[in-house]
Structure 1
Amino acid sequence: MKTFKVLAAVVALGSSISAHAYQINDEYVGSKDHGYGDVIGDVSKFDVKGIDVSVSGTVLTVDVYTNFVNNVGIFNNNVTSTTLSQKKGIAFGDLFLSSSWNPYGDADTGYKEDRHRTGTKWTYGFSLDDRWSSTGGEGALYELNGATNYENAYLSNDYINGRYATYRHGQEVAVKTDSATVTSVGSGSWLVDTVNGKVSFTFDIAGTDLVKGDEIAFHWGMTCGNDTIEGKVPFSVPEPGALALMGLGLAAVGLRRRKQAA
C-alpha cells in the first residue's frame, strides 16, 4: 500500500514529511529481477527508498531517496555501453511522469511483468544535462509524443553491456532528446544531496497536461535499473479565484489589525 500525505492551502503536497514516511514507498520491482527481487546487486549501492513531492503553484520538487547518490559512476570499466556517451559508469536516470499510473501485473509481486512495453505510457520526462554529475545541474522537461515508451525513451538495455553484468531489463531510464517524438516544454534544475541521501528535481509543469489531472505518476531508476521506483501522488493546483480570495482575506486581516493597533 502506498503512503500519501497531503498538506493544506497553497502547498498541495507535503514537503515537511519524515524521511521514513515517503509519499511513494518503493514497492515496485519491475521486470527481469533475475531472482533478486526489489534490488539487483548491492543494496547499499542501488536501493531506492521512496519519493516525496512538494508543489508551489505549478512548480514541482521531486525528491528521490536512494543509496545511489553516493555511487554514481560505479562499474565504469566493463558495464556501461558507450553507444550513448563516451562517459562510462552507471549514472542517474531521468524522471518520467504521467497523469495516471497503470502498472502491469500484480501489486503483491511488485508488478514483476511491468516494463516499457507494458503498463504506464509516460507522457513527460525531465532530462538531466550531465547524468554522471555527482552534484547536479540543469535539466529540461520534454513532452513525449511517441505512441510507445520506446519511441520516447532509452532503456537500461541501451546503457548496460549485458555480457558483463546482471541488471533489470526493459526499464525507461532516459529521455530520447534526439527523437522527433519528443518536444522540449520547459526547464529546471536537479541537485544531488549526499547528506540526506536524495536526488532532487525541480521544474515547472505550467502549460502541460499534467496540471489538468488529479494525480501525477512518477518513474525513476539509475541507468542500470537495478532498483526502479514507480507510483503516484494526488495533485491539485489552486484555482486563480481561490488564490485571489485568499489574498483578499489576508489583506482584510492585515487591515483589521492595523485599525486595532491605531
Structure 2
Amino acid sequence: VLALLTGPGHALSINQADYDAVKGSLTYTADLLTDHSGGSGYSVYGISCGVVGDYLWVSVHTNFPKSGLTGSDSYASGNLFNPGDLYINVGGTFQSANGSAYGVATTSHGNNVTQAYNTWGNPVVEGGLYSPAGGGPFFADGTYEVYEATLGVVSPSDGDGSIVKNSYPTMIRYGQAVVGDNSGTAYLANVGNPWNYDIVYKVSTAAIGYTGAQDLQLFWAMECGNDGVECVKTGEVPEPATMALVAAGVTAMAVRRKSIV
C-alpha cells in the first residue's frame, strides 16, 4: 500500500520584496564551481540561510531553471530533469541517517523520475512542508549514479562511500503534509550575480521544531543529482556566563525555599 502524500491547505506566499527584506540577514555558503556535471545550466553557486523572526529562510543560487533541463542519466536518455525539493534535517544529516527530516516541495509533482522509480506516493504541492510517512524512502536519490566517479572531488559528499551511487536527496517521494500555513517557495530571477535564479524558501521554525539549539542541515540538488549544495548550522551552546547565571538562580531559589521551609 502506498503512503499518501496529501498536500497542505495553503502555502505561504513569497515575492521579490519579501526576499529583499531578509536576504541581508542570511549567511551565504559557496559551492564548488567545478563539481557540476553537464552544462552550465546544472551549476549551483551556493546557498544562503538564516532565521529571521519565526521563520527559517533559505535561498539556493543556481542556473537550473524551474522548467527543467533535458539530458541523460544512468537510466535513460532524453529525460526532463526537474528542480529538486529542499531537504531539511533538524539534529542530524542525510549522510549519517539521523535527525528529523522535512522537505519543502519546489514544484507540484508526482513521480517525475519514472526512468528510475516504479513506485511513488501521491503528488506534493508546491511550497508545501512534508515529513516522512513511511511506506518507502522519504526522498528519491540522484539518478546520475556515477556523479562522483565522473567529477572526482565533489562538495558535499553524499556519504554513502561509493563513487558509483548517487545518494543525494532530490525529490520528495513518500511523505505526509505538515498541516498549516508553514512554508512557501518562490523561483526568482536573479539580476546582478553570476547565477540565473534564487530558489527561495520560507519555513516556520515551530513547524519543524527548530529552536537554534540543534544542528541544522539544508540541502538542495536537482532531480539527476548533477550538483548539490548544503548549509550546515551548528546548534548554539549557551555562553558560560549564561550558564553561571542559571546555576546561581537555581542556587538562590534553593536557599530561599530552604529558609521558607
Partners of 1:202 and 1:101 in 2: how far apart? 20
Q: Per-residue CA shift, 1:236-257, capped at 9, x if unaligned?
A: 7xxxxxxxxxxxxxxxxxxxxx
In the alignment, which residue of structure 2 is the partner of 1:189? 184
- 2:145, 2:165 within 8 Å by CA — same for their partners in 1? no
Partners of 1:140 and 1:233 in 2: how far apart? 23
- Alignment counterpart, residue 42 of structure 2, candidates 38, 43, 46: 46
Partners of 1:58 and 1:235 in 2: how far apart? 17
Question: Unpaired segments of 5 or more residues in structure 1?
Answer: 1-13, 30-36, 83-87, 103-115, 237-262
Partners of 1:188 and 1:131 in 2: how far apart? 17
Q: 1:151 to 1:205 in 2, by over 3 A?
A: same
What's the TM-score, normalizing by structure 2? 0.54
Question: Unpaired segments of 5 or more residues in structure 2?
Answer: 1-21, 111-124, 151-163, 192-196, 237-261
Q: Per-residue CA shift, 1:103-139, capped at 9, x if unaligned?
A: xxxxxxxxxxxxx6x435461111234369xxxx841
State the shift of 1:200 in Å. 0.8
Q: 1:15 to 1:214 in 2, by over 3 A?
A: farther
Q: 1:151 to 1:226 in 2, by over 3 A?
A: same
In the alignment, which residue of structure 2 is the partner of 1:89? 80
Q: Per-residue CA shift, 1:10-51, capped at 9, x if unaligned?
A: xxxx73169xxx532225x9xxxxxxx611122x21111111
Partners of 2:92 and 2:28 in 1: how far apart? 15
Q: Per-residue CA shift, 1:48-92, capped at 9, x if unaligned?
A: 1111124232212211111113x742216x66989xxxxx61111
Q: Which has the higher contact order (CA 8 A, sep 6+)?
A: 2
* Aligned pairs for 1:158-177 within 5 A: 169-176=166-173
In the alignment, which residue of structure 2 is the partner of 1:139? 127
RMSD between aligned residues: 3.8
Partners of 1:168 and 1:26 in 2: how far apart? 21
Q: 1:229 to 1:65 in 2, by over 3 A?
A: same
Q: Per-residue CA shift, 1:196-252, capped at 9, x if unaligned?
A: 43111122131433236344211100111100112313577xxxxxxxxxxxxxxxx
Q: 1:74 to 1:194 in 2, by over 3 A?
A: same
Partners of 2:68 and 2:165 in 1: how far apart? 17
Q: 1:67 to 1:131 in 2, by over 3 A?
A: farther
Q: 1:232 to 1:49 in 2, by over 3 A?
A: same
Q: 1:72 to 1:119 in 2, by over 3 A?
A: farther
State the shift of 1:146 in Å. 5.0
* Aligned pairs for 1:97-108 within 5 A: 97-102=88-93
Q: 1:170 to 1:49 in 2, by over 3 A?
A: same
Q: Are positions 1:16 and 2:24 aligned together?
A: yes
- Alignment counterpart, residue 105 of structure 2, candidates 124, 127, 137: 127
Amino acid at match of 1:209: G
Q: 1:81 to 1:68 in 2, by over 3 A?
A: same
What's the TM-score, normalizing by structure 1? 0.54
SS in structure 2 of the partner of residue 15 of structure 1? helix
In the alignment, which residue of structure 1 is the partner of 2:16? none
- Count how many residue pairs are aligned between Structure 1 and Structure 2: 176
